Amino acid sequence: MNDCLFCKIIAGKLPSDRVYEDEQVVVFKDIHPKAPVHLLVVPRVHFASLNELAPEHDALMAHMLHLLPQLARQQGLDNGFRTIINTGPGGGQEVPHLHIHILGGGRLPGF
């Protein structure tokens, strides 16, 4: 996706503060953190949101879920963390490349 912000970050065409990467995902710090720790777990493959999730993404999604507690521990979030996946404009999604937010390190507001 030529005009996708996160595809450009993954390709290294735009800067990011990466904390982890492997063959399937890139993890970097959110540019406008909503908590002391705010990471974005972003798959290298482009699909817009959970609305575009297909069976071919099953292994990737499982991989990302398993990574969440590992990344939280790496960031020192021993007391717990929050994960968010916004889907579509109605879900508050601003960047149409699927990603999982990890937040923690302070008192988070309730819902």
Does residue 31 bind ligand AMP (CB under 6 A)?
yes
CB nearer to Zn ion: give 38 or 97.
97
Which listed residue (32, 78, 79, 110) binds ligand AMP by CB under 6 A?
Answer: 32
Count of beta carbons in the 10 Å neighbourhood of residue 45? 14
Q: Write down the catalytic residue from 32, 38, 57, 99.
A: 99
Secondary structure E strands in 1-111: 18-21, 25-29, 37-43, 82-84, 100-104
Check: CB of residue 41 under 8 Å from CB of residue 68.
yes
| Active site annotation includes 101 | no
Overall residue count recorded for the chain in this entry:
111
User: Which residues of this chain interact with ligand AMP, rule CB under 6 A?
Assistant: 5, 16, 28, 30-32, 40, 86, 92-95
Q: Which residues are catalytic?
A: 99
